[in-house]
């Protein structure tokens, strides 16, 4: 599968099969994140990979009661100290989301979460911040592609005033 195929096939998955991810597959995904670029190559981020069922269930109320957080095989919690490192985490998690498609797995970004509750449950130190999370697991649904804006709504050519044609 080429990168363009994963980009096209990726969907937000909110229903998961009850199946754990083999260690090798999980490590392939984490390797995709490890190789991601970061500001000054500082790699100033961490991801807590939560596979323990009881812990995932505890995280449901910390994630806007989105039940599929408890049903996914792994819940990925993106942590860093500085706000600008949120970009690095997003790139790393995006690598995971695209590699996941190749491995028959699905993901969903989770932005609706309570950072303080999440930190407390996972024992994340005070000086660090949870920036974004992601569910990961074997899809139990095949959602259709959601609509995207047209090129000329998103891009400008050379100057702000010149729409992409």
Ligand X SMILES: Cc1cc2nc3c(=O)[nH]c(=O)nc-3n(C[C@H](O)[C@H](O)[C@H](O)COP(=O)(O)O)c2cc1C
Residues 87-126 interacting with ligand X (rule: CB under 6 A): 108-112
For ligand X, give the closer residue by CB, 11 or 15: 11
**66 lies in the site for ligand X, by CB under 6 A:** yes
Q: Does 14 bind ligand X (CB under 6 A)?
A: yes
Residue 16 gets which letter from DSSP? B
Strand order through the sheet with 46-50: 46-50, 74-80, 129-137, 106-110
| 129 near ligand X, rule: CB under 6 A | no
Nearest approach, Cβ of 65 to ligand X (angstroms)?
11
Q: Which is nearer to ligand X, 50 or 132 (CB)?
A: 132
CB of 66 to ligand X, least distance (A): 6
Distances (CA, A) of 122 to 51, 66, 129, 157: 12, 18, 12, 45
- Polymer length in residues for the chain: 165
Beta strands in the chain (DSSP E): 46-50, 74-80, 106-110, 129-137
Decide whether 69 or 161 has the Cβ nearer to ligand X.
69
Asked if residue 6 binds ligand X (CB under 6 A), the reply is no
Which run of H or of E encompasses 151? Answer: helix 151-154
Contact positions vs ligand X (CB under 6 A): 11-12, 14, 66, 108-112, 132, 143, 146
């Amino acid at each position: 599968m080429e990168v363009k195929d994963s980009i096209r096939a990726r969907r937000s998955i909110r229903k998961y099969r009850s199946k754990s991810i083999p260690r090798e597959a999980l490590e392939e995904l984490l390797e995709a994140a490890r190789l991601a670029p970061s500001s000054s190559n500082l790699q100033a981020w961490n991801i807590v990979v939560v596979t323990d069922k009881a812990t995932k269930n505890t995280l449901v109320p910390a994630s806007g009661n989105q039940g599929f957080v408890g049903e996914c095989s792994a819940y990925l919690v993106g942590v860093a100290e500085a706000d600008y490192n949120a970009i690095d985490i997003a790139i790393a998690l995006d690598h995971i989301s695209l590699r996941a498609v190749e491995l028959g797995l699905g993901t969903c970004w989770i932005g609706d979460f309570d950072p303080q509750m999440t930190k407390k449950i996972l024992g994340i130190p005070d000086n660090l911040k949870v920036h974004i999370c992601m569910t990961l697991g074997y899809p139990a649904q095949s959602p259709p592609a959601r609509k995207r804006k047209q090129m000329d709504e998103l891009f400008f050519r050379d100057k702000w005033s010149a729409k992409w044609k």
